[in-house]
Chains A and B, each alone.
Chain A
Amino acid sequence: NAGVTQTPKFRVLKTGQSMTLLCAQDMNHEYMYWYRQDPGMGLRLIHYSVGEGTTAKGEVPDGYNVSRLKKQNFLLGLESAAPSQTSVYFCASSYRGELFFGEGSRLTVL
């Protein structure tokens, strides 16, 4: 089993550019999450989804959009990237409350 797969693993953007991070899980989990991790800040929840076609805001949703068109995929979009969005992004899915994480996507916005 691949578990949770994130693409791309690394990306450098210029301010104002847009991009999409893709998260795919093969465990048939209903719940999926996007977190960002910054030094000294731990993990902060951006958006999450409790099932196909649903999304909800987390702790730090501004500047991000998400979509869950298929149960196995959860996309995180940045419409106009800002330097403050430089971070490591983690996707996770959950089963009975336990989270399964991807390996992260490191994004740098110049």
Chain B
Amino acid sequence: SQQGEEDPQALSIQEGENATMNCSYKTSINNLQWYRQNSGRGLVHLILIRSNEREKHSGRLRVTLDTSKKSSSLLITASRAADTASYFCATAQGGSEKLVFGKGTKLTVNP
């Protein structure tokens, strides 16, 4: 069964606005990752946050992790049309090397 669940399922914003996507998961994790998928392409790794970290930045991306609430958020600041894609969170449980993905948030950034 799916471990992570993204919210919202779809998000449409204007260029320049910020986009926030959330991910909730069910069991304890080693780390949580965010991936991006452009239409018809494979997934690309964006950022990994470990269970002992609370916040991480990479360029225009900011990820937070709240292990007490079993949730994470991905913030994309100053969005661009090129950010249009689906975004997935993925979690690794315990000592497992298996990554379990959520169903994704489809982001549309309108020019």
Contacts and interface: CB of A to CB of B under 8 A. Distances in A.
Given A98-B33, A100-B45, A103-B41, A42 B97 contact: no
Interface residues of A, number: 25
B43 A90 contact: yes
Given A40-B103, A42-B2, A48 B98 contact: yes
A101 interface: yes
Interface residues of B, number: 24
A11 to B, nearest CB: 16
B97 A94 contact: yes
Interface of A is mostly: strand
A59 B40 CA distance: 23
Given A97-B48, A104-B41, A104-B42, A43 B98 contact: no
Interface of A: 4, 31, 33, 35, 40-45, 48, 50, 58-59, 90, 92, 94, 97-104
Interface of B: 1-2, 30-31, 33, 35, 40-45, 48, 88, 90, 92, 97-104
